[in-house]
Amino acid sequence: MESLLSGCEGIARSLGLAFNPRKCATLHVGVGGSALRTVFRLAGEDLPVMGEGDAYAHLGIPTGLRVEQTPYGDIGDLVADLEAVNASLLAPWQKIETVAVFLLPRLDFVLRGGAVRKAPLGEVDRALKRMVKGWLNLPQRASAEVVFIPPSRGGCGLPPLADLADVTAVAHAFRLLNAGDPVVARVARSALDSAVRSKIRREPTEDDIAAFLSGSLEGEFGRPSSSRVTFWSRIRSAALRSAGRLGFRRRWDATRGELALECRARGGRRVIVPPSARRQAVGRLRAAVSEHYSSVLAAKPDQGKVFDAASRHGASNCFMRNGKYL
């Protein structure tokens, strides 16, 4: 590690850059998963040493050994800002646009890279549903799907954070396994193989990998899991929650020799995202979330008919996010 740090320092120096040791930290995990108090040096200074429970904020995500990654502070700030928008004199469509463009995207990176608890996200979702229904002059008993579906189909385009957490986690895992950097892809695949091997207690095949990532509970995949929570066990749990609603699953294509992602698309169709199109994963999965809530609303006998008519053309709903023709 010392030689690696020295090499990084030399490369940075050749580019005219310099590390700030006071803004760095090291975590040395030994055999058995314990944190070792090993001291490393950079730029002639000792780097701060992290122990178990210590966190380093990496792009807003608390990172460390056995660290709670749910950003309670950021979530609290988000709720406070939602209340401020709610109390403002903005027009309803401006409030919706403000939330969609400036507030909800704050948590995107944290949801993608961190292990975030669903309970705090649920509190944000409940507060947002209450406010948006008020902005639309809808009774609180009205269907919440109108908050979630896209503006082009008569909604506000504000999907639940709990769903976005699962979508971004699954898409992040897909991109890791198919990363352009072969080292990243190899490390991700090695950790995945280890997780599946631990689950089924034998060497996994490609079909086993696909079943694990799809959240399958059939046969040996239905065995009780160990108490150890890993990145891949969280991805499996996210897939299990999403499978029914989004039609999500992973499939092994033996002909192409690739592990693709499959989910529901508009009109009941299914779309397959190959590894070469990994950048489309988030967009496709978010579209599947929208399709799920659209179909739920359209099936409601007391509200679905109006929605079905209004969602046939985007011009019927252009006022939802830009205020045109009001």
**Assigned domain for 133 exists:** yes
Is residue 169 located within the same domain as residue 234?
yes
Mean pLDDT of 27-41: 86
Alpha helix (H) ranges present in 178-278?
182-200, 206-213, 231-246
Is residue 104 located within the same domain as residue 11?
no
Is residue 46 located within the same domain as residue 83?
no
Q: State if pTM tops 0.85.
A: no
Alpha-carbon distance 66 to 132, whole Å? Answer: 37
Q: What proportion of the chain, given as a percentage, has pLDDT over 70?
A: 92
Q: Residues 204, 193: contact at Cβ < 8 Å?
A: yes
Alpha-carbon distance 174 to 91, whole Å? Answer: 39
Mean pLDDT of 212-229: 83
**Assigned domain for 306 exists:** no
Is residue 149 located within the same domain as residue 183?
no
For the chain, state the CA radius of gyration.
23
**Assigned domain for 303 exists:** no
Comparing 245 with 316, which gets the higher pLDDT?
245
Contacts of 56 (CB under 8 A, 6+ apart): 25, 27, 50, 62, 63, 64
Is residue 256 located within the same domain as residue 282?
yes
Can you say whether residue 266 is alpha, beta or left, with left for phi > 0 and alpha for psi between -120 and 50 degrees?
beta
Alpha-carbon distance 244 to 241, whole Å? Answer: 7
Is residue 11 located within the same domain as residue 54?
yes
Domain boundary among 103, 134, 164: 164
**Assigned domain for 326 exists:** no
pLDDT tens string 296-309: 888 887 776 666 66
pLDDT for the residue numbered 230 = 84
Task: Look over the chain and give the mean of its residue pLDDT values, rounded to a whole number.
Answer: 87
Query: Measured in whole angstroms, how far is the alpha carbon of residue 324 from the centre of its chain?
Result: 32
pLDDT tens string 260-288: 999 988 877 889 999 999 999 999 999 99
pLDDT tens string 101-152: 999 998 887 887 778 888 899 999 999 999 999 999 989 988 899 899 888 8
SS3 271: strand
Mean pLDDT of 31-58: 86
Is residue 28 located within the same domain as residue 104?
no
**For 81, phi and psi rounded to 5 degrees?**
-70, -35
* Number of domains within the chain: 3
**Assigned domain for 156 exists:** yes
For the chain, give the number of residues: 326
Q: Which domain holds residue 241?
A: 165-287
Domain boundary among 164, 188, 204: 164
SS3 236: helix
Inter-helix orientation angle 231-246/206-213, to 10°: 70
Kind of pairing between the strands at 28-29 and 35-36:
antiparallel
**Assigned domain for 132 exists:** yes
**Assigned domain for 299 exists:** no
Mean pLDDT of 2-23: 88
**Assigned domain for 36 exists:** yes
Range among 20-29, 31-40, 124-133, 300-309 rated most confident: 124-133
Is residue 238 located within the same domain as residue 139?
no
Partners of 41 in the β-ladder? 46
Is residue 283 located within the same domain as residue 169?
yes
Is residue 125 located within the same domain as residue 226?
no
Is residue 12 located within the same domain as residue 85?
no
pLDDT class for 226, splitting at 50, 70, 90?
Answer: low
Is residue 203 located within the same domain as residue 243?
yes
